[in-house]
A and B are shown apart, each in its own frame.
Chain A
Amino acid sequence: MPNNEQFVRFDKVDKSYDGKVLVVKDLNLDIAEGEFVTMLGPSGSGKTTCLMMLAGFETPTNGEIYLDSLPISNIPPHKRGIGMVFQNYALFPHMTVYENLAFPLRVRKISKEETDKKIDKALSMVSLTGFENRMPAQLSGGQQQRVAVARALVFDPAVVLMDEPLGALDKNLRESMQYEIKHIHESIGVTVVYVTHDQGEALTMSNRIAVFNDGKVQQLSSPDKLYEEPVNSFVAEFIGENNRFSGQVTDISNDKCKVKLDNGSEILANPIAVKSSGEKTIVSLRPERALINTKEKMENNFKGKIEEVIYHGDHTRVRLNLLGNKDFILKVPNSSANMDIKLGNQINVSWNSIDARALDLK
């Protein structure tokens, strides 16, 4: 497969609805052919607007969007050949499943046999064979969702857009649909642009995730990098759980810096977004990177008081008062249950400087 690295390309795209506020600011984003890219962000961050611009329902105020190196800003939505799955499925309620799927094929004047073949294939892909003559109202939410996915794929579009398609499903169904969509993507190799505000969904499904905030892409990288190596405090805060210390850089070398915290203690951290000493910073540390009572030698060792213990089955969440941070969270694996985790106890907490990322102030 010829892998076009810039199959979908947002080039300096701005969007404003009222001429006063930019909801999308100077967006540059390349999506490779066959890739599954998720736009993740809180509501109002501009991710849906981006999707709508790509689908053709909104026009960029500035800049250009390219699809397979063709500028598409002036192409109306029905000529773009982009499949779309809507938040509320948008199945045509007066048509059967078959007619819903036949709609994109009929407007393309595809022959009856070809239509039947394609619909069969699409329905078997979402394991709904035999449901052709049902009306959408006779289907459960999950089945409607699958029909919507099949309909977006049935005419072999180059790109499929999905706008929070699983938002209305219950938790179990949502998870199984995540895997299903992921497998469909893997098996047919279509380019998918997915919008969600659910980070779990994004981490499960995507090749790459674009984290949106305030009309800008904060970070675009693979799920693991996003989690392990957030580049700013918004991403660190938004993806997964996060312990934060605010302070000031007192000393900085190549891969380490000293941060003086607000309560006076000093910790060693990994300088990501800080350049010089004197800068204010927020140090971010993932809960599972801090260990208690470990025998390993680590650069940061402090004592904290246990404020709360919550049993979670496979792990135990412990809230500590550590270095002036009353909400310091630790995740203790279940295998280490023999340790001295009791309310009010003082315990040793250690972590390496590389995991404590000194980020911007937000």
Chain B
Amino acid sequence: MSSETQKILTTDGIPLEESLKKAERKNKIIAFLLVAPLLLFIIITYVFPIGEMLFRSVDDRMVTNMLPKTFEAMKKWDGKELPQEEVFKAFYLDYKILVDEKRHGKLATQMNYTKNGFKSILKKLARKQKKFEEGNYKEQIMSVHKRWANVEYWRALKRRSPSYTYSKYLKGIDMYENEDGKIVQVPEDRRVHKILWMRTLNIALGVTILCFLMGYPIAHLLATLPMKYSNLLMICVLLPFWTSLLVRTASWMILLQQQGIVNDFFVWIGLVTDDTRPEMMYNKTGTFVAMTQILLPFMVLPLYSVMKTISPSLMRAGKSLGGTPFVAFWKVYFPLTVPGIGAGCLLVFILAIGYYITPALVGGASGSLISNHIAFHMKFTLDWSFASAMGLMLLSGVLLVYWIYNKLVGIDNIKLG
């Protein structure tokens, strides 16, 4: 045998390796062209809009672009005392343009997010500035409203000078950058987001646990019953799946309201009296009950698909080897269902943490979740950048859960069927 490996040539004399590569390259290009439309579609309809939306959470160029001269002049200002005349002048000139172009309303809205009370003084300034005379703008502006002489408002303005900001994220966890540039918590009575986050986490975890406790036996039954019964049971599990989410939530409203069927039943069996009917809707209870029912199939289906693959002879083997039914279940059956439990719990948790319709309809004030808050900012305050910041925080929370799960159980162990 020769020690030197001879290059294999094709009949044309080209090395085989090269001509193979050539042929493969052609295939690769064709494969790429085949998926290219889909890739384009995903980029245009998915990556781009979502990226755009998420970018809003840090994008603060609107204010920066509105007041370019002001921020330029403010660079030298140390922020301790009221700024110099040149800042006032620059601000007047910037603002005049905005008023002339009728864009000053946006600035007022934006500045009001930063500091309450900004809107009214900006509007007043817009009316008064028409009569301003040249020179000494500091005096003239401060005479419009006494808050213009308050250094805090100017500091607030300066805080908006960078093009990018993380202040929305701070707001999302009830923190803000104070006048000294330190990150501190908002006063205790205004920490609404913390409560919302905790409640969302609580409800998502609670719903996941409830779904698991209820879904596991159902999935086991589904996997072990003879065909004709398991089919029927499967339909019972899937039927809610095929019903509109609104219809299901509305039916829970009918069931759970104070004069509803469940309460009537409680009164009838004497659990409660007619005038102490418990409130089960427009609070956490309603959210728990309705969400558990709605998300149950997402737990049952992955569990079922895993349990279906577990041979019944394994349990028998466990018993014949001397394990009590409990030991056989705990040591043999249960560990084999862990991939399904992981998939089901992850699915339910992720769905629950961002759930919107059900808490919006049956949650009331104490049962509304972070997603309702995001919708509120999207629809009513129109603070889209804050909504997008919260959305991104929610997304990172989900990714964190996913990461932890991967560390603990391993994502390869997930089975969805």
Contact = CB atoms under 8 A, between A and B. Distances in A.
Given A77-B316, A86-B313, A90-B311, A103 B336 contact: no
B322 A93 contact: no
B227 to A, nearest CB: 16
Contacts of A94: 335-336
Given A78-B328, A107-B327, A92 B320 contact: no
Given A57-B316, A87-B313, A107-B327, A151 B321 contact: yes
Nearest to A84: B320
A63 interface: no
B325 A78 contact: yes
On chain B, which size bracket covers the interface?
10 to 19
A55 interface: yes
Contacts of B328: 78
Contacts of B321: 78, 83-84, 103-104, 107, 151-152, 155
Contacts of B331: 103
B314 interface: yes
B316 A92 contact: no
A86 B322 contact: no
Contacts of B199: none
A326 to B, nearest CB: 45
A142 interface: no
Given A108-B322, A155-B321, A90 B314 contact: yes
B354 interface: no
B130 to A, nearest CB: 80
Contacts of B313: 86-88, 90
A104 B322 contact: yes
A86 B316 contact: yes
A78 B320 contact: yes
Contacts of B323: 78, 103-104, 107
A76 B323 CA distance: 11
Contacts, number: 68
Given A92-B332, A94-B336, A77 B317 contact: no
Contacts of B324: 78, 107
Interface in A141-164: 151-152, 155, 161
Interface in A261-319: none
A138 B318 CA distance: 21
B277 interface: no
Contact of B318 (A55, A80, A83, A103): A103
Given A92-B332, A94-B335, A103-B331, A82 B311 contact: no
B319 A78 contact: yes
Given A94-B335, A103-B331, A107-B327, A82 B320 contact: yes
Interface in B311-359: 311, 313-314, 316-325, 327-328, 331-332, 335-336
Contacts of A161: 320
- Which of B316, B319, B322, B331 has the most CB atoms of chain A within a 10 A radius of its CB? B322
A90 B317 contact: yes
A55 B311 CA distance: 17
Given A78-B323, A78-B325, A107-B327, A84 B317 contact: yes
A99 to B, nearest CB: 9
Nearest to A94: B335
A104 B323 CA distance: 7
Contact of A83 (B314, B319, B320): B320
A152 B313 CA distance: 14
Contact of B322 (A87, A90, A107): A107
Contacts of A107: 321-324, 327
Interface in A16-34: none
A78 B331 CA distance: 14
Nearest to B333: A92
B322 A78 contact: yes
A209 B23 CA distance: 64
A161 B331 CA distance: 23
A81 interface: yes
A252 B330 CA distance: 67
Interface in A77-119: 77-84, 86-88, 90-94, 103-104, 107-108
A107 B324 CA distance: 8
Contact of A77 (B319, B327, B336): B319
- Which of B311, B320, B325 has the most CB atoms of chain A within a 10 A radius of its CB? B320
Interface string A25-46: 0000000000000000000000
14 contacts: A55-B320, A57-B319, A76-B319, A77-B316, A77-B319, A78-B319, A78-B327, A79-B322, A83-B321, A103-B331, A104-B321, A107-B321, A152-B321, A155-B321
Interface of A: 55-57, 76-84, 86-88, 90-94, 103-104, 107-108, 151-152, 155, 161
Give 6 closest A-B pairs by Cβ, nearest first.
A104-B321, A90-B317, A84-B320, A90-B313, A77-B319, A86-B313
